Structure 1
């Protein structure tokens, strides 16, 4: 019996795209597996770009379906760089999911820590420097490099007459002494979209923000742009946000900015309370308006208070989901993906699958399980099949009632075991003629390993409280 689909495209070369490519190849049944990556190597968000993305109010460059030449294949002048392809990595970044749980089940991370994490979290702590993670991913993909097309942007993916037609643009071609982009199309039976969801920064709608950011662009940053705490020394800073990235920024900046560090939150993660209450941090309600003055930026809050003369407003407010190349675009105004069963298969057409479109799900490990389940479904080797489209629709309705119509719809926490068990059962055992392997059953200790870093950070943040309290007592 042959596979459900013969020719498969994978879009994106980050951890989820690497997982998908590996799982598909290991089935040893597909005629074609191709990976398209807009950067010059694999790794996704684990690249380091010294010059960051620009603040979200600025116009993003890059190509879109309206730019497609009328006749393909075609050489065209280079498109402007898509700035969203730059990453949020900064030079001292360490992973924030415990290494034992974050790694793929088949390959553990090397036992390497940074000097900074060792100083703050102790020896042999569960973080890994981003360069270690990037190298880990590159090593895993080296056997599949021949399948990859780098510097290649998927501008459009559209189903036509039972085939997925991908419109592609590859940069870096020298034609008659001039650099050109090469445009072409390829057709596939199925597509795995693994392009991630940490590219397009999101900021709240605030009265006056766009005008102020246009007038004083250097005063505004998203956490994606953060590169070096040196840029904040003795500056008056407002941080906006209430989750992990905000906590890390507050921890990095609270002792070096012009006190106090103003922290504006609509809501917050209670597990990070030790960060919100660090010394020199002043909690504020939501920002209601931003005004410009002769002194620069004034930030107004919903309780009527104001911070004047602000040097930096730093938004740690997450990312927008972005799949602009999929036709039609599945992203809703509420920033969730609609119409995908279990966050993976397109309802009514499972030849389109997403890998990596989940939150709070233990990072690389869940991408691996999703990828194996997709590969074995595409191969027609599953122990269990997908339910009917009607049942899949009902799953989405039930999910909306459970999690709500927001990005939280894609949050797996706290149902780790149920989700991993579902993927393991659907994948089933490996076929004898494949190079696959059995997915290890879920273990509760994986969740414990995943949150080890947060526990160590909490301990460190609390030590800063005690140090401050001890200093005040000594002065008294």
Structure 2
């Protein structure tokens, strides 16, 4: 099997995202001596673990096209400055003017939300994988950390790693990547960013466009940006008539608003089931609609008060509804309509609907690699995302874009111990990007990828590491590859999973499997997580 190194040491790398994946990637790239710039559209690091009381704007009903994601990328030259004004900050981090006066207004807050939509983190988010294995080799959790932690503890841990390893110093905050394309000669990535900067009144917040060139591009933008909204008959009309009463799980923050109400949660994944748990005993009645999917949380893991029901067929508004009813509808008044399930059951007297059916894979800053019309089975050898938004196509080992491996991804696999998995992916990425490990020839990468498609099929299951042994095997394959290439170069070996780590994961998987299939679980131990 032929091998070839596509990279030379000392090159520049752009990293998109400052969650645990992006911080891991940047830290190891810096260790390998590369010049790194991290772009983060929020004003802090932390990714999914950063809690923001504000909620993102509504997504379209039904779902946004995968190419557009949760924000509308700008067009080149759309904003006032193609280069920063003379007195403009360049670090993109400051949220105050020179005198320390916060430049926050209602208009600027709205602009912030549209520019960098707040994430899916809710106040009660905790980890459901113990911190003893949900850990990065970049550093341990603080001494005395419990096995289960709150979102602010997880966020603090991630931000601590960023500062410790020099990632914070090379991160451009409040800076969103709107487009990344290869230069006309194909040698560089041209990364066009838009920065939200605060300037003294009357100028207020400004959007500043810049374009810079990099040799390499690493994407770590995460899974939880673009909510999936099903195309149920009548749902669009319900949302239009009562926008505050029909929301997606990404907009959920606390259970208080549901006190004494009847709510319908659509979806039985992690976030949908967490909302059912958090609202139990607060809401009057909680219904959870499921479609019988592969990863639906079993009903016995939910509070007994949650009523599990079948799949929704349609939403029906009462004929008597007239314009203006939304404003006249009191908080305690149920929505004037009914929800019909596929089995014919009719729900009435519902106050709130929460849609929690997952997220769409989308990289809006790579528009030339996405198609909203091509079916997943027809992705071909070039496309990264197709019409269903269920997976990332044409990646070697879920990391390197096969047609041009100067583009790579961290965090594509899921149903895994994320902090540890991303750590290994980042080590491999850094070795390859620094020229200390070699990619196979393109034909060999294509052959390996097509074999995986044949084995796993296209769709959400393609990237799942849920099955016993799959995550450990995936990491072993990565580590063996770079160690094999590094040995002739005298590179230090990358250690794989420690034996104790593997044993603890096996115990956890066994416990979760027994709970999943009907043992009497400790529901709290299976608690909230978006890892």
TM-score category of the 2 structures, normalised to the smaller one: 0.7 to 0.9
Q: SS at 2:260's partner residue?
A: coil
The reply to whether residue 333 of structure 1 matches residue 387 of structure 2 is yes
Partner of 1:73: 83
Contact 2:277 2:302 in 1 (8 A): no
The reply to whether residue 291 of structure 1 matches residue 316 of structure 2 is yes
Partner of 2:141: 109
Offset of residue 197 of structure 1 = 1.4
Q: SS at 1:204's partner residue?
A: coil
Partner of 2:96: none
Partner of 2:463: 410
When normalised by structure 1's length, the TM-score is: 0.85
Among 249, 261, 276, the residue aligned to 1:250: 276
**1:223-269 deviation digits (Å, cap 9, x = unpaired):** 2111111211221111111222222222222333223x222101256
Offset of residue 220 of structure 1 = 1.3
Among 502, 505, 518, the residue aligned to 1:447: 505
The reply to whether residue 155 of structure 1 matches residue 217 of structure 2 is no
Distance 1:251 1:268, change over 3 A: farther
Offset of residue 96 of structure 1 = 2.1
**1:352-403 deviation digits (Å, cap 9, x = unpaired):** 0001111112111111111110100011112xx3222222222332222322
Partner of 1:20: 25
When normalised by structure 2's length, the TM-score is: 0.76
Q: SS at 2:439's partner residue?
A: coil
Contact 1:243 1:268 in 2 (8 A): no
Contact 2:301 2:521 in 1 (8 A): no
Among 452, 456, 460, the residue aligned to 1:399: 452
Among 240, 246, 249, the residue aligned to 1:223: 249
**1:428-458 deviation digits (Å, cap 9, x = unpaired):** 2889999987333364325236559958996
Offset of residue 65 of structure 1 = 4.3
Offset of residue 74 of structure 1 = 6.0
Offset of residue 347 of structure 1 = 0.6
Distance 1:245 1:12, change over 3 A: same
Contact 2:41 2:173 in 1 (8 A): yes
Contact 1:173 1:182 in 2 (8 A): no
Offset of residue 424 of structure 1 = 1.0
Give distance in 2, aligned partners of 1:83 and 1:208: 30
Offset of residue 64 of structure 1 = 1.3
Among 92, 96, 114, the residue aligned to 2:124: 92
Q: Which has the higher helix share?
A: 1
**1:274-324 deviation digits (Å, cap 9, x = unpaired):** 545642232221111012225424211001111012111112211111200
Among 8, 16, 27, the residue aligned to 1:11: 16
Give distance in 2, aligned partners of 1:452 and 1:390: 39
Give distance in 2, aligned partners of 1:95 and 1:407: 22
Partner of 2:403: 348
List alignment gaps of at least 5 residues for structure 1. 114-123, 464-476
Give distance in 2, aligned partners of 1:344 and 1:25: 18
Contact 1:243 1:269 in 2 (8 A): no
Give distance in 2, aligned partners of 1:109 and 1:456: 27
Partner of 1:460: 522
Contact 2:436 2:489 in 1 (8 A): no
Partner of 2:343: 303
Alignment RMSD: 3.2
Which stretch of the first structure deviates more once superposed, 8-17 or 165-174?
165-174
Among 150, 169, 183, the residue aligned to 1:129: 150
Q: SS at 1:72's partner residue?
A: coil
Partner of 1:466: none
Aligned length: 447
The reply to whether residue 361 of structure 1 matches residue 364 of structure 2 is no
Contact 1:242 1:269 in 2 (8 A): no
Partner of 1:374: 429
Offset of residue 130 of structure 1 = 0.8
Distance 1:434 1:289, change over 3 A: farther
